[in-house]
Amino acid sequence: MPDHVVSRKPDWLKVQLNTNDNYKYVKRVTSKERLNTVCEEARCPNIHECWGKHRTATFMILGEICTRRCRFCSVETGLPTPVDPDEPARVAHAVGEMQLKHAVVTMVNRDDLPDGGASVLAATVRAIHAQAPQCSVEVLASDLMGDATSIAIVAASKPEILSHNLETVRRLTPQIRSRSSYDRSLSFLQTACQLDPDTAVKSSLMLGLGETREEVLEAMDDLLAVGVRILNMGQYLQPTKRNAPVEKYWTPEEFAELRERALEKGFDHCEAGPLVRSSYHADDQYEHYRKRVHPLYSGDTGDSTHPSNSTDMPGAAQAPAKG
């Protein structure tokens, strides 16, 4: 990485604190159900907007201790807690109580489990669909060690969006991502696309770790080649002093230009901006994506004419995959 490290945050990264009644409500529900959120564990800068304005949260299952130590992440690393068989039901109950129309569920890496935690993630998707049939579900999975059987377990639960983050460009992956592989992540995404063409497959990139514009464009091409059609790009922010430093703050104008390039290249939907994260405005993003891919989409997931309920409609993530 470059020797020069940028320290001062630019003005466009300032966030407004908001601990209003909505914020307190989300905190109360997640605490009552004994649930972890990536909003808190990963120190997301958007927590006050998501909780305080939109009254939504990204649930993090399988405990709060990760088996990997990625340099960009502030989630605690260590010996994980035992799997809680009741956790999927508690997540689903929180989704129902919060009356979410789109729920996002992520997970810590659980390399200690034979399936990497895939069965618990799948059980959570099924529980949400049963508890709140009108709610679409987006899962952000670990790479599950690239195991095709584990990926199939998650895909079989039929999340509306199956996401796995590439996180950074190929050159920086060994320095930034612990026990992870750029090509294994691409393989995960390709497998997800092939297993269920009706599930939208999504990935995200962090910028500011020392990557070049050309490397970002190359990563876009790699994601498109394996079938990914939804892309998020945001500014990396150093969560603690022990994490990787910020090498560059990309400007809003640079993010806007990258978004245009992503759409020109063929992504069906792209969110790009300094504060964009994997689940940033995920409900609106899903609505826009479905309307773009399925022009007849009404927004009523209970309608029998909804494209996702028709075997005659092309898959949302159907695309040529690199062999």
Query: What is the average pLDDT score of the chain?
Result: 83
| Residue 304 lies inside a defined structural domain of this protein | no
SS3 content of the chain, % helix, strand, coil (to 5): 40, 15, 50
Question: How many structural domains comprise the chain?
Answer: 1
| Residue 159 lies inside a defined structural domain of this protein | yes
Encode pLDDT of 203-253 as tens digits: 999 999 999 999 999 999 999 999 999 999 999 999 889 999 999 999 999
CA distance 52 to 126: 28
Rounded to 5 degrees, what are φ and ψ at 85?
-65, -20
Most confident by average pLDDT, 31-40, 48-57, 125-134, 280-289: 125-134
pLDDT > 60? residue 315? no
Q: Where are the beta strands (DSSP E) in 56-115?
A: 58-61, 65-66, 76-77, 102-107
| Residue 318 lies inside a defined structural domain of this protein | no
| Residue 317 lies inside a defined structural domain of this protein | no
pLDDT > 90? residue 47? no
| Residue 5 lies inside a defined structural domain of this protein | no
Task: Report the first-to-last Cα separation within the chain, whole angstroms.
Answer: 32
Three-state DSSP class for residue 312: coil
CA distance 73 to 41: 9
Candidates 98, 169, 179, 88; CA nearest to 129 is 88
Token pair for 55:
């009254």
| Residue 2 lies inside a defined structural domain of this protein | no
- Angle, CA 299 vertex, CA 296 and CA 302 arms, to 5°: 105
274-278 average pLDDT score: 84
288-316 average pLDDT score: 50
| Residue 226 lies inside a defined structural domain of this protein | yes
Which CATH number do you get for residue 195? 3.20.20.70
pLDDT > 60? residue 51? no
- Domain extent at residue 119: 15-296
196-202 average pLDDT score: 91
Q: Is there a contact between 294 and 307 (Cβ–Cβ < 8 Å)? A: yes
Query: Given this model, what pLDDT does residue 10 score?
Result: 83
